[in-house]
Structure 1
Amino acid sequence: MRGYARVVTRSVSRRDFLKYTALLTPVLAVPGALGVMAGAPRAGAEGLRLVDFADRLVSPEQLKAAGFHGALVYVSELRPGATFDFKPATRDYTDRLRAAGLQVVSCYQFGKPGWVSSPSDFTRGYDGGVADARTALRLHTTAGGPQTAPIFFSVDEDIDSKAWKSLAVQWFRGINSVLGVARTGIYGGARQLAWAVADDVIGHSTSPGHRWAWQTRAWSGGDREPTAVLFQREIVTATDPGFMIDDIHVDVDDVLAADFGQWDLDR
């Protein structure tokens, strides 16, 4: 997650039977489950891996060749000054992913920590949440996203409980007013996910015990949020190139539940 400016130094700040199963492992043993190619390389706790973009867009063919099973796509506008080619997601790209049997999940991030003109999205409070959710819903729909899939909204820095209570939770409540809690998800560290669960501003996956929580390894201090559906385990940083697909740097995300927010699942 993030969507920071492309740099050579890789600098960044930083889902009908599947529906009712409580155990992911048996599901993955079924050929074609979740659109996975039989015999495709697997990694991560439950076998499926996605990418999210931090550098440039990766073609469906490249993703498959590298052993990945899908991508998180941005349903946010490109902020002024950024030069990414993956914001916002296009219908052509998502159609190509799905035609290749790859999974698609929607995420949102416009602002960036430390940018005066477009700071972190959560700092804009309730009204900002309303505006961001409207943008996310429009771009998600334009890209072909179904009206049953969640959208993950980013808290892309290690905020404390004071910032959560005074700003971020209000931002999420603004998002809830547009999308409903059922379709609202969060990206962040273990603490931020736990607060979102406790304040009930994110929805429930159809996989029992899971919420629309996408955890990053960053800022989590080794802790894990047990309700998470995704875990970002490889992250592009100033000192770590992350995972490379050809010459493109990507973050790597492990799937933790059968229903992880993917478009091609009937909920």
Structure 2
Amino acid sequence: MPVSRRDALRYATAAAALTGLSAATCAGTPAAAAAAPTLIDYAMRQIPAQDIRAAGHAGVINYVSTSRPGSSFGAKPITLPYARALNASGLVIVSNYQYGKPGGTAPSDFTRGYPGGVVDARTAWQLHTAAGGGQSAPVFFSVDDDIDRATWSNVVLPWFRGINSVIGAQRTGIYGGIKACQWAASDGVIGRSRSPGRVWAWQTRSWSGGQVYPAAVLYQRIVATASNPGPVVGGIEVDVNDVLAQDCGQWNLHP
């Protein structure tokens, strides 16, 4: 999309925070994406900015959702003081919403249909803005399950329509496997990055069969599990995400 001179300058400044980004824009496979700058995601507690920088990461994907019943995650939701500390250290921030999960104390968010999407979008946007999130930045809403096309069309899509009714499709992103990302883009319920050919798709390697969606802006290459632990940053295990586009939805590019 066309951008003004001021927006172009802001774009360049924000992109500069992601070292080596030009290599990331060409990433098309997990192997190629390994050279990309990385963002980490985590829920257990807030990791000090200096520890994130020391580990070589360019920023974080943090939650704009609260903890499920029976849990108390220190990084949910992101707070204004923590966001300011991250920004002051030159780290970028991307917003993600996930409250429920399969087998958790609250069901997967997408199972609650259109009305649930409305409620989730209102909650996400309130927490996003309270922490200083950019007014045009997207929130990535999680589809943390291996869904089929029928589930997408009959259950997940109405949920995204509800989200869109509150914050609009352009500020809506998806986290999920490759098929969920493709379906979301095809049905027009997620927005477009300023990076050509990219949409607000944060793809996880789970349920993706070793493929990377060419239009994704983020790729979750390391998913920390009990059987496959992730790297430790600031004393806790984290997931690691490759940045595949200069505009991956970072707040400072979308004030």
Residue in structure 1 matched with residue 76 of structure 2 by the alignment: 87
**CA distance in structure 1 between the aligned counterparts of 2:241 and 2:152, rounded to whole angstroms:** 24
Deviation at 1:48, TM superposition (A): 1.4
- Tell whether the 8 Å contact from 2:42 to 2:239 is kept in structure 1 after alignment: yes
- Tell whether the 8 Å contact from 2:14 to 2:253 is kept in structure 1 after alignment: no
Deviation at 1:266, TM superposition (A): 4.5
Among 17, 29, 34, the residue aligned to 2:16: 34
Give the aligned residue type for 1:93.
Y
User: Identity of aligned pairs, percent?
Assistant: 54
Among 10, 17, 24, the residue aligned to 2:8: 17
Deviations 1:231-267 (A, max 9, x none): 0000111201111114310000000001000000147
Between the two proteins, the alignment pairs up a number of residues equal to: 239
Q: 42-51 vs 81-90, which deviates more? A: 42-51
Label 1:163 to 1:32 Cα distance change in 2 as closer, same or farther (>3 A).
closer
Among 199, 218, 222, the residue aligned to 1:234: 222
Deviation at 1:36, TM superposition (A): 4.5
Give RMSD over aligned pairs. Answer: 2.2
Please give the TM-score of this superposition, normalised by the length of structure 1: 0.84
**CA distance in structure 2 between the aligned counterparts of 1:74 and 1:32, rounded to whole angstroms:** 21
Please give the TM-score of this superposition, normalised by the length of structure 2: 0.88
Deviation at 1:37, TM superposition (A): 6.9
Listed as ranges, the gaps of 5+ residues in structure 1 are 1-15, 21-26
Listed as ranges, the gaps of 5+ residues in structure 2 are 1-6, 25-31
Residue in structure 1 matched with residue 253 of structure 2 by the alignment: 265
Residue 221 (structure 1) aligned with residue 209 (structure 2): yes
Among 152, 177, 197, the residue aligned to 1:209: 197
**CA distance in structure 1 between the aligned counterparts of 2:254 and 2:168, rounded to whole angstroms:** 18
Deviation at 1:102, TM superposition (A): 0.4
Deviations 1:26-78 (A, max 9, x none): x7xxx98432479xxx9945631100004332110100000001001100011
**Consecutive aligned runs of 4 or more in structure 1 exceeding 4 Å deviation:** 42-46
Residue 145 (structure 1) aligned with residue 136 (structure 2): no
Partner SS state of residue 35, structure 1: coil
**CA distance in structure 2 between the aligned counterparts of 1:71 and 1:32, rounded to whole angstroms:** 14
